[in-house]
Amino acid sequence: MSAAAKRKPAAKRSAKKKDLVFGLGSTGLSIARYLARNDINAIYVDSRDEPPGLAELEGICPDAKVVVGEIPEKLLKQASRVIASPGISDSDSFLKAARNSGVEIVSDIEMFVAEAQAPFVAVTGSNGKSTVTTLLSLMCEAAGKTGLAGANLGVPALDLLLEEVPDYYLLELSSFQLQRTKNLPAKVAVLLNISADHLDWHVSEEEYRSAKYRIFDQAEAAVFNRADEEISEHLPQNVLSLSFALDAPEDGEYGLIEDEGDIFLARGEQLLLSCADIALVGKHNQANCLAALATGQLIGLELSPMLQVLNEFPGLPHRMQTVGQHGGVRFINDSKATNVGAAIASVDSVTGAVVLIAGGQGKGGDFDRLATSTCGQLRAVVLIGEDAPVLEEAFADLTPTMRADNMMIAVRQAAEVAQSGDTVLLAPACASFDQYANYQARGEDFAGAVGALLL
């Protein structure tokens, strides 16, 4: 059992000072439910005038003090600690004031770790973490184990504690959550990859990478991508570790082996499963499968049920999801490709020419890298959203570009320029919040536009 399972519940806070929960939404409400279950009073604040979940919060803790809109710094005098939602940047003025006042800032993950009564696997990476976390949950189920998945994926971490204690908790963790979590004694820590992302939240790529590396600090075992040499340099000494990558593996490693014209997932020299028999699409998903297999080995799952899952699981919505075909052109929704690295991987995983639909809020991404890495495969790029002008400049003289005011127009323009055998790919390389509530809404809009095209 991991160190997390041995911890006792946290002591209740001082009666004179209260927890201050900063940020509502799904994480903030899960914190409210946790505090209410433990009879802990708190102050709830949100800088938005009408934050989501306000009515639900009143039902959870009707007597709590709630402040929305402008947040007075004098509230910090009443705070024993600030529990901050992950989307709120450390550069936020209220959090800066908290640090200057010596008030501790923690994450919901820190609170989860103090309460969890089963070992947990922690999964992070710039891309692929939702897929790998879901694969692990399905592999546990196929192997007769219970693996509850959540945190940055689906169910907030503290809400997982409402369920019967599983064999394993499977936590997808963002760089935001990792940066604010001091105690993370994972049974297995998984770092899939790192490419520049969330530079609108982190002050630098170095800080972003450092947050990701924190996942290893207290782990019993680690799974890492050996293709990134810097990752291996941050593994703690004397920690059991398994590596994966898309090259031929050494003994005990996971990778790919070509045999008689076929490519196989492999462990050392052992051929495990032909890539042609994997339901997931793309080279990046081959890497995700290898990472899941390595992690499953470390938590004691049998090989056969894990391979069965890889043969059957088609992937999560909005991740390389085929949503239609028209005139010999395939339309793929990869709205979850919200950074440059993910968009490059999306294009690379497609066979044939691509008409790319990209754009939104760039998060400080390197669009020049996107353009130079993909231009050889692109027939054209249709640009949407706030950072369309910046993307257009990056693709100038490399790939034909056009602008679209909305997704319906973008899909129609892409369909007009695409030729039979091409793929129209939504891989925005950007966040969606300039036009949509989230990446899911953007992907659904794309699928709807494709559906209208097929009528």
Nearest to 248 by CA among 266, 275, 261, 232: 266
Looking up tokens 């923690």, which residue turns up?
106
Tell how far CA 336 is from the center of its chain. 9
Report the alpha-carbon angle 406-87-369, nearest 5.
55
Tokens of 224: 């890492």
Distance CA 229, CA 235 (A): 11
Buried b (16+ CB within 10 A) or exposed e, 40-62: bbbbbbbbeeebebbeebeebbe
Q: Report DSSP letters for 373-394, one per residue.
A: HHGGGEEEEEEESTTHHHHHHH
Name the residue type at position 214: R
Q: Which of 129, 234, 318, 336 is catalytic?
A: 129
Are the beta carbons of 361 and 387 closer than 8 angstroms? yes
Measured CA to CA in angstroms, residue 165 lies from 17, 31, 141, 206, 377 at distances of: 32, 19, 14, 37, 48
Q: Which of 127, 152, 193, 288 is catalytic?
A: 152
Q: Report DSSP letters for 22-52, one per residue.
A: E--HHHHHHHHHHHHHTT--EEEEESSSS-T
Helix locations, 175-321, DSSP H: 175-179, 205-213, 229-233, 283-298, 303-312
Do β-strands 262-267 and 270-274 pair in parallel, antiparallel, or remain unpaired?
antiparallel
Catalytic, 284? Answer no
Phi, psi of 377, deg, nearest 5: -110, -10
Helix/strand number for the chain, H first, E second? 17, 20
Catalytic, 285? Answer no
Catalytic, 152? Answer yes
Q: Which of 145, 198, 212, 234 is catalytic?
A: 198
Tokens of 446: 């794309």
Distance CA 211, CA 338 (A): 19
Nearest to 292 by CA among 311, 320, 276, 317: 311
Are the beta carbons of 356 and 381 closer than 8 angstroms? yes
> What amino acid positions are annotated as catalytic residues?
129, 152, 198
